[in-house]
Chains A and B, each alone.
Chain A
Amino acid sequence: MVSLNPVFMIPLLPLFGAALMLLIGKGLPRAVVNLICCGVMAAAFALSLIVPRGTFEIAQWLPGIGADWAFLLDDLSVLMMRLVTGVGLLIHVYSIGYMEHDKGYYRYFGYLNLFVFFMLLLVMSDNFALTFAGWEGVGLASYLLIGFYFDRKSAGDAANKAFIVNRVGDCGYLLAMFAMLSVAGSLKYSEVFARVDASSATLIAALLFVAACGKSAQFPLYVWLPDAMEGPTPVSALIHAATMVTAGIYIIARSQAIFSLAPDMMPIIATLGAITALLAATVAMVQHDIKRVLAYSTVSQLGLMFVALGVGAYQAAVFHLFTHAFFKALLFLCAGAVIHALDGEQDMRKMGGLRKNFPFAFWMMVIGTLAIAGIPALSGFISKDDILWEAFRYSTGLWVMGITTSLLTAFYMWRLIEMTFLEESHHGEPHTLPYSMQIPLVILAIGSIFAGWAPLRGPKEHGGTLEYVLMAAATGAALLGIWLAHKRINFLSPFHFLFKRRWYLDEALLAVFVRGFAQGGGSFLAAVDRNVIDGGVNAAGFMTRQFSRLSIFWDTWVIDGLVRVSGLMVKLSSYPVRVLQTGSVQSYALMILAGVAIFLGWALTK
């Protein structure tokens, strides 16, 4: 039976939750909403722990091109499924407390379930097309959740920006699929990977990379992610840190058969990744909004994952994706706890001193910070170390960029701790946290510490002493960053104006593409349409009217004129005759008399 297969149940459960919430959720009590939405997540997570491996076909979708409703469960997809449902479950539970007072409660949980459905579709699909359905679907869920507080204009703006920038990347995905079809005639992973050859791989890899840059927020398409922080904080944790934004890494890791045939693309990916990591870290240094610091930090960490992909260390990328999910979710949820406790305050300048009256959040945040900063033995250190090592073996330049990013990461994260928890207080008494919010934090903190020991690391060529030297350097960079932040040494301050304006990237893109191309082009073409093209149509109409006026003139004055003139001629020529024909008998008699008289006179004189 199809319906009983646990594999199919995994995505269907959250879809069921979403459908229920969006159709009848308004009338349901909160406890029922919690039970359904967290329940389906718990069930999906439990099922994903026991799923078998293999391919599972359900039905046709787009016939003839291997784009069917079919799932492929291998190590990569099962890892992603567990991550999505596991972290997803924790964030659902956390949301119970966080969203408690929101009137759109059911809508929020419906969207969140919907997101999980699409994300599962993305990672479970056995072909590029169904993955694309999940890919755009998570974009939809992201749009809905970024714009969740839709009465705020900034939320609407951010939602639009996210969707449209992602669409740019999606064009790359679409074109990549068409290119695959022309080579392989199918979109099924196994068939595409078997048939793609070196001559077509570069193009396909480049197009997929464009797609990944959109979804996973890489330069220059990362501009949407910081704005996406308009959504509720648990959403930022789940979608914009732990899961959705890693879809780009997933698709490249999934398609490593293609990328390994495209050696020309690899340095580009690694370099762009490193540039993104570095740029985003510099911007994070000067942010005041606690969520924006974390957002730029996510962009930066994703950049590191791209570095790993670019040097061919796919497993290191996925491993960092895995550990990052824990500590970044933890950091976001801690930030959420702080924001929740301070009635929605997000500006770190108005925080401070929370260590004293909010020690739980402080310690949780410190664990997350140390993990991301790369303090030895914590998860972030282990996975980042793998990436740095692979980068070093590939090129020293990449390693330098990576280690600099590490230094900056430690700096801006400790700066966040300082501003939020350590400096003197600028606010009132914080609220306490319900257990539903505390427990997920604790679990994520445990994950952030130990996830690095999970058996997910790739085969690795060790380098003896050199490796330890590099490790020590990385640790040194992290400690230096923390020390600088602790001492409030604002290094790189001459460049702060650039960091504060986000390297002018948003402005540049806005000016060229939105104002220039879209709005400028649109206004221009609208004017062309009104004046030139429609002008032509109206001119044709006008000409026709003028022409018909002319023919009226011609008719009245020339054709009709001729008729009238001829009538007139007859009239004129008949004038003498008409004058005579008066119709009066007397005048006729007189004329007859005159005629007779003239005739007689003529005859007599002859």
Chain B
Amino acid sequence: MITWLLLAPLIGLLILLALPARVVKYWTTAVLAVGPVMLTAMYQAFDPAGGLQFVERAQWIPSLGVHYYVAADGISFLILALTAVIGLIAAVASWESVTTRVKEYYAMLLLLQTAMYGVFVAQDLVLFFVFFEFSLVPMYFIIGIWGGERKLYAAIKFFIYTFAGSVLLLIGMIALYFQTGAQTFDIAELMRGELSPTAAQWIFWGFLIAFAVKIPMFPFHTWLPDAHTEAPTAGSVILAGVLLKMGTYGLLRLALPLLPKTGNVEFIQSLLVILSLIAIIYGALVSLMQKDWKRLVAYSSVSHMGFCTLGLFSLNEAGIAGSVLQQVNHGISTAMLFLVVGVVYDRRHTRLISEYGGLASVMPKFATLFAIAMFASMGLPLLNGFIGEFTILRGAYQAKAVWGYWAVPGLVLGAAYLLWLYQRTMLGKITNPENQSLKDLTVREWVTLAPLAALCILIGVYPAPYFRMLEKPVAALLETVK
């Protein structure tokens, strides 16, 4: 099943090459729609109480013990579902805004989709690494070719920065293989292997930095505002929606289980929690002062991903489950916020906040959906953002009350930068005559935003099924961490 999930975009890609350019966008959308359909079908067979499911395994490089080994547990499944939805919506969001080299563009989207699925299902470290690296390439081209004014700078910065992190991942991977003497790259086996504290520390930090760049954690975050801002709308949506989660997912699968072996858990935990808290406050404060709409949203991701890492390093059930939920929820609400910027950018071709103002009076539907995204993002109860943030904060407080105290001001600032953005762009009178005749959402744009808004409400009102899916894998993870 999972193999077909991975193959579907690639098969679609082969057929796409033979299609005329004007139909590729419809074709790509249809191919990407397979993901949500397949995952819905898989969900029927999914057992929330079970561990790894849908296992498929085959020899790949027998001499090194490398396997093609894919499977999914509750954590993977939730993020896979997010990936499927975001990928599909990103494709629809590109229909009108991408007009040059259309075929190559949609080919990149399909490639990227397989790579993203792959990261979240790979149970073999080499396979994981291959997918992890491979996701870089299409994104590099998407930013570099179809991006904004400073696209080359942003694309190269993104690529080199993440790639530098990947080198550490590669080294750590090889070190882990030899140090444990496991004769296999099966992640579960490697994580169970014996390691000296020194080796464990080196490998841990290697993995940590690799993923910290991807997430990004403070102070490795400066590639993010550039990449997110310069990428085309769909690129930003995928970056924020899914690619960042590769980092937190990697931490969760590869770094956390090594933590007890380092023999220095408390110090490392405190250090990383402090970095997370800095990210929360720092990202929010910098967000507040941005003049560029898209850059503001980009910086808000730094703050939100700070919550995700805070949850992870709380090292308890609530923290980790909250972190996974927040990864999904951040994916949904930030994707919406980027789509929102895309809507006005397509009309006005500027991202400067000061160019806008009073849009609510000419674009009421748009204003409503933007408001839902905003309140979801700032964690209003009964919307999705609250579920994750609340659970993370609960975990952090449980681990050490003072961490909870330091994190909550992030919620006030989160409300501040978003409400202020909303006021400056949507409220007041229309001061710029160019905004006077802006059209409200088209059907296509509505279709990209409304399902995500529905998800915000659905998850916020009834999150119990997601908690159920996470219970078992989080408990299993904590088993290895303790």
Contact = CB atoms under 8 A, between A and B. Distances in A.
B263 interface: no
11 contacts: A62-B390, A132-B381, A133-B381, A137-B381, A153-B428, A153-B429, A167-B411, A167-B412, A182-B397, A182-B401, A519-B289
Given A151-B429, A171-B411, A178 B397 contact: yes
A297 B367 CA distance: 35
B4 interface: no
Interface stretch (B62-70, B193-201, B402-410): B402-410
Given A518-B288, A522-B286, 8 more contacts: A63-B468, A153-B427, A163-B419, A167-B411, A170-B411, A178-B394, A178-B397, A182-B401
Nearest to A155: B427
A178 B404 contact: yes
Contacts of B412: 164, 167-168, 171
Contacts of A174: 390, 393, 408, 411
Contacts of B428: 150-153, 156
**6 A-B pairs with least C-beta separation:** A133-B381, A522-B289, A178-B397, A534-B222, A156-B427, A522-B288
A38 B459 CA distance: 30
A122 to B, nearest CB: 11
Interface in B366-401: 368, 375, 380-382, 387, 390-391, 393-394, 397-398, 401
A454 interface: no
B426 to A, nearest CB: 8
Given A164-B416, A171-B412, A181 B427 contact: no
B205 interface: no
Interface string A517-548: 01101110110010001101100010000000
A537 B161 contact: yes
Contacts of B390: 62, 129, 174
B398 A178 contact: yes
B367 to A, nearest CB: 9
B407 to A, nearest CB: 10
Contacts of A519: 288-289
A518 B416 contact: yes
B202 interface: no
A160 interface: yes
Interface string B281-294: 01001111110000
Contacts of A534: 222
Contacts of B413: 518
Classify the interface of chain A: helix, strand, loop or mixed: helix
Interface in A151-199: 151-153, 155-157, 159-160, 163-164, 167-168, 170-171, 174-175, 177-179, 181-182
B168 to A, nearest CB: 15
Listed residue (B157, B286, B361) with the most chain A CB atoms within 10 angstroms of its CB: B286
Contacts of B423: 156-157, 159-160
Classify the interface of chain B: helix, strand, loop or mixed: helix
Given A171-B412, A537-B161, A525 B381 contact: no
B181 interface: no
B366 to A, nearest CB: 14
B260 interface: no
B419 A137 contact: no
A60 interface: yes
A539 to B, nearest CB: 12
B397 A533 contact: no
A561 B375 CA distance: 66
A106 to B, nearest CB: 11
Contacts of A9: none
Nearest to B375: A140
A294 to B, nearest CB: 25
A136 B397 contact: no
Interface in A105-162: 129, 132-133, 136-137, 140, 143, 147, 150-153, 155-157, 159-160
A150 B380 contact: no
Contacts of B54: none
A526 B401 contact: no
A151 B415 contact: no
B286 A529 contact: yes
A136 B376 CA distance: 12
Nearest to B317: A64
Contacts of A22: 368
A404 B146 CA distance: 69
A160 B387 contact: no
B285 A61 contact: no
A167 B358 CA distance: 25
Contacts, number: 129
Interface in B321-359: 358
A3 B157 CA distance: 56
B380 A136 contact: yes
Nearest to A530: B222
Contacts of A526: 285-286, 289-290
A526 B287 CA distance: 8
Interface residues of A, number: 51
B5 interface: no
B360 interface: yes
Nearest to B360: A150
A387 B382 CA distance: 37
Listed residue (B160, B289, B413, B467) with the most chain A CB atoms within 10 angstroms of its CB: B289
A171 B409 contact: yes
Interface in B417-470: 419-420, 423, 426-429, 461-464, 467-468
Contacts of B106: none
B141 interface: no
Given A133-B382, A163-B419, A174-B390, A61 B463 contact: yes
A464 to B, nearest CB: 49
B359 to A, nearest CB: 10
Contacts of A133: 381-382
A542 to B, nearest CB: 12
A62 B391 contact: yes
A1 interface: no
A570 interface: no
A558 to B, nearest CB: 27
A29 to B, nearest CB: 19
A550 B441 CA distance: 54
Given A137-B382, A150-B360, A522-B286, A537 B398 contact: no
Contacts of A171: 408-409, 411-412
A529 B222 contact: yes
A24 interface: no
B50 interface: no
A4 B289 CA distance: 51
A163 B380 CA distance: 11
B250 to A, nearest CB: 21
Contacts of A179: 397, 401
Contacts of A177: 394
B415 A164 contact: yes
A519 B413 CA distance: 11
A579 interface: no
Interface string B27-52: 00000000000000000000000000
Listed residue (B160, B360, B387, B394) with the most chain A CB atoms within 10 angstroms of its CB: B394
A129 B393 CA distance: 14
A463 to B, nearest CB: 44
A529 B398 CA distance: 32
A271 B330 CA distance: 42
B307 interface: no
Contacts of A182: 397-398, 401
B223 interface: yes
B427 A147 contact: yes
B361 A151 contact: yes
Contacts of A529: 222, 286
Contacts of A585: none
Contacts of B427: 147, 150-151, 153, 155-156
A568 to B, nearest CB: 39
A89 B287 CA distance: 42
A59 interface: yes
Nearest to A121: B382
